[in-house]
Chain A
Amino acid sequence: MAKSMLAMGAPNSLDAILSANKLAKSYGSTRILSDATLSVAPGEFLAIVGPSGSGKSTLLHILGCVERPDAGDLTLNGQDLRRLRPAALANLRNRTLGFVFQFFYFEPHLTVAKNLEVPLMPLRVPPRDRQTRVRAAAELVGIADQLRQKPATLSGGQLQRAAIARALINRPKILLADEPTGNLDRANTEHILDLLLRIKREQHTALIVVTHDEQVAARADRVLHMSDGRLTVC
């Protein structure tokens, strides 16, 4: 067991900020994940690659606690997911995790700044703190000038940055991103990659990025390949 994990280049599970063991998930009779095992160290950049339909997004949803696995263990920040009640789970999603979706959804009638505030709302963060945190996140991703605008006026690249800023606003320990550069051109992809690496470096955030983009995988600390419901080291 330990041997196989070492073989995958995984960190010692004691140091891991996230560790998943033998995750399984089926949709009806179709098995999507059968034995997905991985662990991520704090500040590590892990890329998950694989063909379309291989279950990458499904895995990321399970890691992001928006979907429950059929079987297997998942420990996040030292907490056993199976033991958590819905409220604690919501809290975990809010504070420990940051999720960048394949598509980005913003509330069209709120300004970008207000949209970035949304993860602060359940925490009842006072307005003054909100402003500083929103500004810091926006400056980090480089959309400080667009804060007062409505999402519809932003470009695709800017929206992706805004999505990352929203995911970072609560300073999560793990940032999950599903094809974050899927809809972007090469130049924008490079910018986003730089941004992710900067976050990893400056905030010591672990990154788990699902991608089929060679450009992205090349910059990761470690790459796992998804096939037949399992993860293998490339």
Chain B
Amino acid sequence: MLTLRDTFTLAWTKLRSRKLWTSLFLTLEILLFAAVLVFTAGVRGFTEGLETFNSQGLNGKYLVTAANVRSNPDLETDPDVMDLAEQLYQAALTEHQALAEQLGLPYSPDSEIAPTEYIDGQRALVVYSPYAQQAINQRMSDYLLADQADLEAALQSYDYTAIYLQQQLNADGSVVNLQNGQEDLSRYSSSSGNQPVQTFSGLYVLDDDLYADYLFTDLELDPDAIPVVLSVSDAEALLGLSSLSANASSTEKLQHFTELRAAAAGQIVAACYRNSASQEQIYTALQILDQIDRYQDEPGFTSPSLIYALPTTPCGPVTIQSDTRTAAELEQADRQRAYQTALGTYTEPFQQLLRFQIVGLIPTDTQPASANDLLSTIQSLGGVSIVTPLISTSYYDAHAADLAAVYTEPDLSLSYLGLDRQYLIEFPSADTARRFINEQSCQPRGDLSQGCATPDHLFLLTSDNNHSLVISDLSQTFTTAIIIAVAVVLIITVVLVALTVVRSIASDRKEIAIFRAIGFRRSHVLQVYLAYALLLTAIIIVGALLVAFLLGGLLDPWLSSWLTDFLRATFLTTAPLSAQLFTPDPLLYLLLCALMLLIPLLVTLPAIVLKTRESIISGLKYE
């Protein structure tokens, strides 16, 4: 063995010959490896930033949505269902006619909605007919119905944190937002094209533990208002703030969000609930008033016997202005009511002013503009696909009776889709969540279009309520990209280092022969060229580290504040979080440098051994 000093003294002379090639090759390699180093540090900074911001709120939770999907659209074309619907319809016709006769009322079968119709000679179900719905309901009860116990059974062998029940409530009637405290009654007139804003026609009940991060803090709660959490887009619509375009800058988005929060926090919004009887009353009142208005000046006009007065307060009742009906007319009206009561279709007009207090804002889920666009995929990560307006389970439990006056269980057609009651299962890790979905979801086992649920797999499981899984996939993608980049750079380095060393040996044939003639062993020569290879890789590593840290250090303050703004705007958070883009991982750097040092050396070694096998004499005679 030569001493290290001698080895490197001699190796150093190799570096000084072939200067042009060596400096070109080293510059290229330094830039390549520096790019890898900067890339890994950037990816780490980016994913860590993403994870930091994502760990807030719902995004940070590994949630799986479980829906007992029993929908079967084919029922609508099922002849058996149509037959059943027609039977129910015929039975109702007979029953209603008998009842009308008994009450002395005229009866027309046209007042019933037939459950089937013929379209182009094909029999089709009229889905809004009550008889069609009854028929579907009867058939659907055969389908598998699952509850929390079934879910817990499916979860038996999985580690999970909690199960949350999300229930849907639907207003049986309309809940129309007041405009500047006023009710817009014109919408009840048939000529009005106004589409009323109905933010609160449905509510979702969910434990607020799950979305606590989105609640405003230090709010003074109004005891008479229903505390709701709204999506950002609902709040924008409600408060009259226009939403920003998707390509608004991070600063604009943050500014907008701050304004929105300020406007929304604790804000009371009022809406008017009217059941269908109340809506009908207004409609009738408007029609009569309209007729009087139009025809009262004409000769022979007689005022209607029953005139209503429109509500005088927002969401007030319709009152009777004048009632000059004869005894016969009144009796007829009583019979009509008795008939409806007997059929169970009579309802008293009911209206109620509802007051909601905005207690939280949830970023709206935005679909990525294109699935292939990494940036828009990342931007879409900020949103949560949870449905709003949300009220908390505890509020619902305490006010169930009050709420029931307005909100009822949803339409059965929804419950077959498993949408009225969904479970959100929180898992401690992405892996468990993913495993649970893969092993327990009814899809792809059951056909979704045929009602996904099967006896062994009752729930359709999806991860779309949060983005932790997406982010972990994303970092997987980044890791793969890093591995590929490292592999490519390693291969290039191995090739170039081996080429350089082998070229050097080839052009040093005579020198090597002379050194051996004056006493160097082959192993000594080997040592010198190995040291040369080591010097080359060491220069690459040191140079790349310098370039990487210089570049990272210079650009990082600027890039990191960009990233922080970007993430803040993406996740619409006010939490005091920040991200740092250039975040080198010491262990990874150590590993990469070790790979860079050792792999070219290991690959070059056999080449050096082979190339230094030449006999001394042929080297000496080489011109």
Contacts and interface: CB of A to CB of B under 8 A. Distances in A.
A164 to B, nearest CB: 12
B521 A124 contact: no
Contact of A122 (B513, B520, B615): B520
Interface string B409-437: 00000000000000000000000000000
B119 to A, nearest CB: 94
Interface residues of B, number: 27
Given A67-B616, A67-B617, A122 B519 contact: yes
B511 interface: yes
B617 A105 contact: no
Interface in B492-534: 510-511, 513-522, 524
Contact of B518 (A67, A86, A166): A166
A26 interface: no
Nearest to B528: A121
B532 to A, nearest CB: 13
Interface stretch (B9-17, B70-78, B221-229, B321-329): B9-17
Nearest to B5: A127
A109 B16 contact: yes
B3 A124 contact: yes
A66 interface: yes
A122 to B, nearest CB: 5
A121 B16 contact: no
Contacts of A124: 1-3
B511 A105 contact: yes
A67 B519 CA distance: 14
Given A105-B510, A121-B6, A91 B519 contact: yes
Contact of B521 (A64, A86, A166): A86
Contacts, number: 71
Interface string A72-115: 00000000000000110011011100110100010111100010
A87 B524 CA distance: 11
B518 A109 contact: no
Nearest to A123: B519
Nearest to A130: B6
B235 to A, nearest CB: 74
Contacts of B1: 124
B517 A121 contact: no
Interface in A115-132: 118-119, 121-122, 124
B519 A94 contact: yes
Contacts of A167: 518
A204 interface: no
Given A66-B617, A67-B617, A109-B16, A122 B2 contact: yes
Interface in B245-267: none
A135 B12 CA distance: 24
Contact of B517 (A86, A91, A99, A170): A99
Contacts of B9: 110, 114
A170 B515 CA distance: 14
B9 to A, nearest CB: 7
A167 B519 CA distance: 10
A118 B517 CA distance: 11
A107 B519 contact: no
Interface string B579-622: 00000000000000000000000000000000000011100100
Nearest to B2: A121
A121 B3 contact: yes
A22 interface: no
Contacts of A105: 510-511, 514
Nearest to A96: B519
Which interface residue of A66, A98, A108, A121 has the most chain B CB atoms within 10 A?
Answer: A121
A99 B517 CA distance: 8
Interface in B1-29: 1-3, 6, 9-10, 12-13, 16-17
A222 interface: no
A107 B6 CA distance: 13
A114 B13 CA distance: 11
A212 interface: no
A61 interface: yes
Interface in B79-124: none
Contacts of A122: 2, 519-521, 524
Which of B6, B12, B524, B615 has the most CB atoms of chain A within a 10 A radius of its CB? B6
Contact of A95 (B6, B515, B519): B519
A110 B620 CA distance: 20
A93 B524 contact: no
A119 B519 contact: yes
A174 to B, nearest CB: 13
Contacts of B12: 109
Nearest to B513: A66
A119 B3 contact: no
Contacts of B522: 86
Contacts of A170: 519
A101 B16 contact: no
3 tightest Cβ-Cβ pairs between the two chains A and B: A94-B519, A109-B13, A67-B617
6 contacts: A90-B521, A94-B518, A105-B510, A118-B515, A121-B6, A122-B524
Given A86-B522, A122-B519, 9 more contacts: A61-B620, A64-B517, A66-B516, A86-B521, A93-B517, A98-B518, A109-B16, A119-B518, A124-B2
